[in-house]
Amino acid sequence: MASIGNKSINAKLVLLGDAGAGKSSLVLRFVKGQFVEFQESTIGAAFFSQTVALNDATERYHGLAPLYYRGAAAAIIVYDRTNQTSFDQAKKWVEEFQAQGNPNMVTALAGNKLDLLDANKVASEEAQTYAQENGLFFMETSAKTAKNPAPNPSGMFLVDRPSD
């Protein structure tokens, strides 16, 4: 197992969202730093296991640290910014997830395909407001250009990616 810094954790992260939103592409970008233009769509969820380096700043978030140390999962609900239906569906994923999931789980909303600015159909402000109202972290990402795929891509290592 590789790690950067003096500590590492093994965290499971689940990505939820409509087929075509870019879940697999974000995973691929996150764990391998690559983008493949055409690949099979993933219906529903993509998941993988990853070791991330913890720094002192991360440890100060005491509320979150035990969650990570216990190996509990976090979730990112992904939508395609160029597809309004995918955003509507993401809201359904959020509702479902919040009704069933662990309330302590870190949950984020990601508006993917940020590189396709001209084709944007989902206003950033609308998504941001929705995320705030529902207690979600919010980010806009591009698996293609690597904009916001991860806070520190160089510190991320693939440990295990179960086939689904």
Residue 158 buriedness (CB in 10 A; 0-12 / 13-18 / 19+): middle
Residue 60 buriedness (CB in 10 A; 0-12 / 13-18 / 19+): exposed
Which residues make up the interface to ligand GDP (CB under 6 A)? 17, 19-25, 37-39, 41-42, 46, 112-113, 115-116, 142-144
Instruction: Please identify, using beta-carbon distances, which residue of 56 and 164 lies nearer to ligand GDP.
Output: 164
CB of 156 to ligand GDP, least distance (A): 17
Instruction: Please identify, using beta-carbon distances, which residue of 9 and 116 lies nearer to ligand GDP.
Output: 116
CB of 114 to ligand GDP, least distance (A): 7
Instruction: Please identify, using beta-carbon distances, which residue of 19 and 67 lies nearer to ligand GDP.
Output: 19
What six digits make up the tokens of 105? 């789980």
Is the Cβ–Cβ distance between 141 and 147 less than 8 Å? Answer: yes
